[in-house]
């Protein structure tokens, strides 16, 4: 990685994540919150925040409500992230994350978000074009708000690849399906998102591997399929590995996938082989699981997690 490498993350639909710790959370009854925390988040913001903890120059862009931008501005200032968000009138959505430490599960309530005006999207395109002057990588992450066409990621991947940029895509549904054939360098669906993309439930590693390989054949550089506590599968043209995480004490699973995306970018910048990238990406996820909010523990802790990740060549385990 050179010191001048710059990465921009794009969040069309950022969120303030309101985390509530509720032991034995139960739908349909009164639940009491034991502890709460509020963090600037959303997939692209999280990726920017994890990357900034690990060194490269980072810019964050996208669409942000002007009326409640303070937590984002504070995060960017604290982590040295260049703030290139286009401001919209109104408030960024607040997503609710209910963490149940007894049943060991997280319930996500994600709101639709602010609908941009076509002029806002024009300003965003101008910002992305101007970022192209000094940015090597673009990470496009998260849901697409109402009022934005489902082809937006497809158009952006094509535009950025035509300019020689590295492009990472972490999306779902129609916007993901539209863009996947445009040659992104890295994609990171979770198993549900991949099942939706291929239009059938995927059972077992062999089926996941076959689905991921078909995307590599369509021109995706690296497909990482995350499967929660079971681990993740990483496939590129020349190989496939499965990375199994050690059992850890989880504070919250929110942002684990975003950390994996950040780890894949850092691993690629460091020139790691596929097993090394799988190991580092999983270690980033483990780091995120042990913190609330989009933060990683120190490099030594991430490295100690990396040493405990089991990586196996996939032909041996499929
Ligand atoms: N409970 C857990 N214990 C250990 N590792 C986990 C756990 N949950 C997630 N991970 C790690 O984080 C990665 C990303 O998590 P996942 O939930 O699959 O992503 P997403 O948030 O995108 O759905 C997993 O592939 C795994 O390596
Ligand atoms: O854009 P979406 O798909 O609604 O997701 C937004 C949510 O995703 C998160 O970025 C977490 O993502 P992951 O748990 O998949 O890493 C939250 O911060 C945010 O509330």
pLDDT in tens, 128-149: 999 999 999 999 999 999 999 9
Length of the chain: 318
Which CATH code of 3.40.1190.20, 2.60.40.10, 2.70.150.10, 1.10.230.10 fits the domain covering 6-317?
3.40.1190.20
CA distance 284 to 299: 10
Strands 105-109 and 57-65: unpaired
Query: Which residue's alpha carbon is nearest to atom 16 within ligand 2?
Result: 255
Per-domain residue ranges of the chain? 6-317
Residue 120: the pLDDT is 97
pLDDT in tens, 296-308: 999 999 999 999 9
Which tokens hold the place of 160?
A: 């950025």
pLDDT in tens, 250-264: 988 999 999 999 999
Residue 87: the pLDDT is 98
Predicted confidence band at 55 (pLDDT cuts at 50, 70, 90)? confident
Residue 56: the pLDDT is 80
Query: Does residue 31 carry a pLDDT above 90?
Result: yes
Residue 30 makes CB contacts below 8 A (sequence gap 6+) with none
CA distance 289 to 283: 10
Known catalytic residue: 238?
Answer: no
Tell me the pTM: 0.96
CA of 183 to the centre of ligand 2 (A): 23
Say if ligand 1 is within 6 A of residue 285 CB. Answer: yes
Tell me the chain's radius of gyration from C-alpha atoms.
18
Mutate to test the pocket of ligand 2, among 9, 11, 15 (most ligand atoms within 8 A of CB): 15
Predicted confidence band at 3 (pLDDT cuts at 50, 70, 90)? low
Residue 318: the pLDDT is 46
Mutate to test the pocket of ligand 2, among 12, 13, 42 (most ligand atoms within 8 A of CB): 42
pLDDT in tens, 83-133: 999 999 999 999 999 999 998 899 999 999 999 999 999 999 999 999 999
């Amino acid at each position: 990685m050179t010191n001048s490498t710059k990465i921009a993350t794009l969040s069309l639909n950022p969120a303030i994540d309101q985390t509530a710790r509720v032991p034995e959370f139960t739908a349909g009854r009164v639940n009491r919150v034991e502890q709460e925390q509020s963090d600037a988040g959303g997939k692209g913001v999280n990726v920017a925040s994890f990357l900034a903890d690990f060194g490269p120059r980072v810019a964050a862009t996208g669409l942000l409500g002007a009326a409640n931008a303070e937590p984002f501005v504070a995060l960017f200032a604290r982590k040295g992230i260049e703030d290139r968000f286009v401001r919209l009138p109104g408030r960024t959505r607040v997503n609710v994350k209910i963490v149940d430490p007894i049943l060991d599960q997280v319930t996500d309530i994600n709101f639709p978000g602010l609908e941009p005006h076509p002029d806002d999207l024009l300003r965003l395109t101008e910002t992305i074009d101007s970022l192209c002057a000094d940015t090597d990588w673009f990470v496009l992450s998260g849901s697409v708000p109402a009022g934005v066409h489902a082809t937006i990621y497809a158009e952006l991947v094509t535009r950025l690849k035509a300019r020689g940029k590295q492009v990472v895509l972490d999306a779902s549904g129609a916007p993901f399906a539209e863009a996947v054939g445009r040659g992104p360098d890295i994609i990171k669906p979770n198993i549900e998102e991949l099942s939706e993309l291929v239009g059938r439930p995927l059972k077992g590693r062999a089926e996941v591997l076959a689905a991921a390989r078909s995307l590599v054949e369509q021109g995706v550089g690296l497909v990482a399929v995350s499967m929660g506590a079971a681990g993740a599968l990483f496939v590129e043209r020349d190989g496939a590995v499965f990375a199994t995480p050690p059992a850890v004490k989880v504070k919250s699973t929110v942002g684990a996938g975003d950390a994996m995306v950040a780890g894949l970018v850092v691993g690629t910048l460091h020139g790691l082989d596929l097993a090394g990238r799988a190991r580092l990406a999983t270690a980033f996820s483990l780091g995120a699981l042990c913190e609330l909010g989009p933060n990683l523990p120190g490099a030594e802790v991430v490295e100690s997690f990396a040493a405990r990740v089991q990586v196996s060549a996939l032909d041996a385990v499929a």
